[in-house]
Structures are given as structure tokens and as C-alpha cells.
Amino acid sequence: MKNFNKTIAFSSILIGSSSCLMADNKPAIEKPNLIVIMADDLGYADVGFNGCKDIPTPNIDSIAKNGIRFTNGYVSYAVCGPSRAGFMTGRYQQRFGFERNPQYRPDDPNMGLPKTEMTLADSLGKVGYNSGIIGKWHLGAHPSNHPLKRGFNHFFGHLGGGHQYFPELLTIKDSYNVRKDREESDSYRTWILNDHQPEKTTKYLTDEFSDAAIRFVEKNKDKPFFLYLAYNAPHGPLQATEKYLKRFPDIKDKKRRTYAAMVSAVDDGVGLLLNKLKELKLEDNTIIFFLSDNGGPEKKNASDNGPLRDGKGSIYEGGWRVPFAMQWTKKIKPGVYDYPVNSLDIFGTISALSGSPTKNPLDGVNLIPYITGEIKKAPHKTVNLRKFDAKQHAIRLGNYKLVTRENGEEKELYDLKDDIGEKNNIAEKYPEKVKEIDAIRVQWDSELIEPTFLGLTHTKRWMKKKKKKPKK
Ligand code: CA
């Protein structure tokens, strides 16, 4: 821990911090625009700012260059749906039972984000923001969970967990009318919803989403806005157009080449958006976050998590430590931040700045005083993960990480300072540390509830098997 502190780079300071304090020393309310660009299944090492060599991402990198590169940025789950539920509520989603990737079920109002939770868009709407989501929703396909019912003013995207990218493959007009036996695959082929209207799009989907993001910013330039640009790329299916593919003649592996092209398309979109903000003179007062919703599934989409162990779905670092950067040029000087931060902190940050209300207690915090160095300690005592179905937990305390299986019966301990790849289990060497972190795990676990809906893994085959072998 001691050594770790020395490596922290507090190279950023708050610019003009005195001017934003009111007489009673409480921070003044301000309403910067918020843009969250979330890539889907992007590997930790697949952006230039994390050392990627074969896929140039100059526009994404510029966010880290003009702002903060978080070396230890986490999401709250290792797959899409739960991770997004955490981000959208600022809370560990295991607190409200969103612990599985939801099935695409337009007929089931409980398959998605519980109505007891306030979304980031709900919260910001109360203080005058207009909120738009462009891209992947994945927080419930029932009409009662449509983004416009969950605080957003605009939606241009798809309700499910992934999508075909070529317009000619989008053959199902009505997002709510998918075949019962093929809900998942049908959900990838629906037309794009423009608010509630099915729209027959004409471009490569990533380009469609970039254009829609630009339109949203142009339309909302005169009032505070929250744009959630949730690209489904580079999540499978691996599909790219020649325009992007031809940028990578030197990548011989076909999968990696297509993946690279998909990431390149996202980077182009980020560039268009950043340019639009400059053109409209909105750059200074817009907080922009860039992150992935979970680690790269390396075998599936040829992503690369670099030195991190495993990938998407895993409790090891490759599952939930992600590329993570933010910029706010008006207030934050460029730098690197090494203490663990969490996607849940995005809600905590913007809510604290804008004075937007919260309903249930947030797990996320306002990151600004931490990255400016105003507060020297770590934003979080721990970052936590539980995978209920797999009976696995991971708790990171300082640089120590406890990984448990069988609900705590089997324990592994890693020191991430010297062992970022989690290769050397030191549980036997440090039994007291194991005990200390395990007590935190048990306490945190007691605050969580069981999953409230079945997930993607609960297929018809699974149901049949379960019927044959009833629980004792
Ligand atoms: Ca994902």
C-alpha cells in the first residue's frame, strides 16, 4: 500500500477552484453537459492510451490526453447488462437483483431495470437536463422499460444486448414482435427505434449512431444535456465495412482485422462528436467519459486485455477493469489517476456537480475532488464484484485482491502492484489479509439480494434440465 501511494500521480489540479465555492463554502451548483461514450466488449489494451499498437484510436486517446487516464478503472460487472444497470443507477446492481444479462422479453416487465431504481437520466431531468441515449439499451425490452419511460428524452438505438451492423440484415420492423422461440437472434435484427418509431436505417450501424449523436448535440446545444452514446461495437457479430477494413491491410488474422475496423469506426465517431463540440463551443463545459462496459472476450471478438487475466465474464481483472478516461477541459488539467475508480462514480460525479437528486443510496462518488488532488485518499475503500450464479466474489482492497469461489470457501489473494496478471496466489502467505478482506466480502454480500430475473444462460435446455433434477 505504501509503495502504491508513491506511484499515484496527482498531476491534475482544479482550475479556478476558488471561484466555484459559494460563501458558505458549499460547492456552487453547475451544470456541465455530460457525455458518456460506452464501447461494448472493448479490450483493456485496445486503445492507444492503454498501449494498443495495431489499432490507432487518436480520437479516443485525445480524451485521455486532454483529461484523465484512469489506470484502474472498473465497471460493476463483467458482462453487459448488469454493468450498464450499475452505471445507470450509480449503485452496485446486485443491490436490486440485476445480476444477469436480461433475456430479450418484450412481454416481461420485470426482465430489466427495476422501477424502484432512479436512472441517471431521471435524476438529471429533475435539474433541467435533456437526456438522450444513442445505441444499445439492454436494460429491459418491455415497453415499460423503454428509455423514454426511464428518464430519457430521446432514444435512437436497439433495446437488446447486441445488433447486426449492416442495414440489409435489419429485417424485423417491430421491436416488440419477435418470435417467441428466437427472441435473442430476432432482437439483433430489429429496425432501429427512433424514440418509439421503427426506422429503416441505411448505413453501417456504428456510423448511424455517430450521426445520431451529432444530431442530438446540435439539437440540445442551448441547454444542459446528458448524452449516453452506447455503441454496441465492437461486440459481435464481427462485421465491418470496406471503408474501415482497408485501414488494416497488415493485420493478417481475419477476426482481429474486422475487430480493428469496428474499433476504428467507433474512433471516427468519437472524432466527429469531439469536433462538433468544438464547433459549437461546448467542449469546455462538457464532461466526457469514455469506457468499455466490460473486458474483452478475447477468443470471441479477438480483443486484447493486455496483461490482465482472462476477459469478459471473469472475476479476474480482464473481466471488469476497462479502458477508462475522462475530460473536462474547463476544470481538469491533464493527468493520470491510479487509485481504483468505478463506472458507478459517473452518477456520483454529475449528481454532486449539478445538484441532481438521488433516491436510493449511491455507491458512486464525486470523482472531481479526488482527481484534482483536493482529496488525497482513494475514492473507494474497496471495489467489489459478485457473480451469484457462479458463486464467485472479488474484492479489491488497496492493491490486494481477494478472489473467492463457492461463496467464500475457496480463496485466492493477489497483490496487483507486483502481479497485475494475478498469477501468484499469496493467500497462504498472508492469512490475516485474507481474513480482513473476506470479512468485507461477507458484510457486502449481506447487503445484496438474489437475482430477480433469469438470464441469457437460462435457456430452454437449462429449464428442461432443471425440471428433471428438482432442487432438494
Ligand atoms: Ca459488453
Query: Is the pLDDT score of 5 beyond 90?
Result: no
80 is catalytic: yes
Q: How many CB atoms lie within 10 A of CB 431?
A: 11
Rounded distance from Cα 233 to ligand 1 centre (Å): 9
In this prediction, residue 465 carries a pLDDT of: 77
Helices (H), 54-179: 58-66, 80-89, 120-125
138 is catalytic: yes
Give residue-wise pLDDT tens across range 52-68.
Answer: 999 999 999 999 999 99
Catalytic residue among 80, 158, 380, 393: 80
Rounded distance from Cα 293 to ligand 1 centre (Å): 5
Amino acid letter, residue 192: I
Ligand 1 being an ion, which residues bring their Cβ within 5 A of it? 40-41, 80, 293-294
pTM for this one? 0.94
Q: Cα(171)–Cα(422) distance, rounded to whole angstroms?
A: 45
Rounded distance from Cα 440 to ligand 1 centre (Å): 28
Rounded distance from Cα 443 to ligand 1 centre (Å): 28
Q: What residues contact residue 198 under an 8 Å CB cut-off, 6+ apart?
A: 173, 174, 175, 190, 191, 192
In this prediction, residue 7 carries a pLDDT of: 40
H or E segment and range at residue 411: strand 410-415
Amino acid letter, residue 235: H
User: C-alpha cell of 385?
Assistant: 464484484
Pairing relation of β-strands 410-415 and 400-405? antiparallel
Burial 1-31 (b: 16+ CB within 10 A, else e): eeeeeeeeebebebeeeeeeeeeeeeeeeeb
Catalytic residue among 52, 138, 146, 235: 138
Q: Cα(63)–Cα(329) distance, rounded to whole angstroms?
A: 10
The residue assigned the cell 496478471 is: 421
In this prediction, residue 2 carries a pLDDT of: 38
Query: Is the pLDDT score of 106 beyond 70?
Result: yes
User: C-alpha cell of 110?
Assistant: 420485470
Rounded distance from Cα 384 to ligand 1 centre (Å): 18
Rounded distance from Cα 268 to ligand 1 centre (Å): 20
In this prediction, residue 472 carries a pLDDT of: 44
User: C-alpha cell of 465?
Assistant: 434440465
CB-CB contact of 362 with 351 (8 Å): yes
Give residue-wise pLDDT tens across range 370-401.
Answer: 999 999 999 999 999 999 999 999 999 999 99
Closest CA to 214 of 156, 129, 158: 156
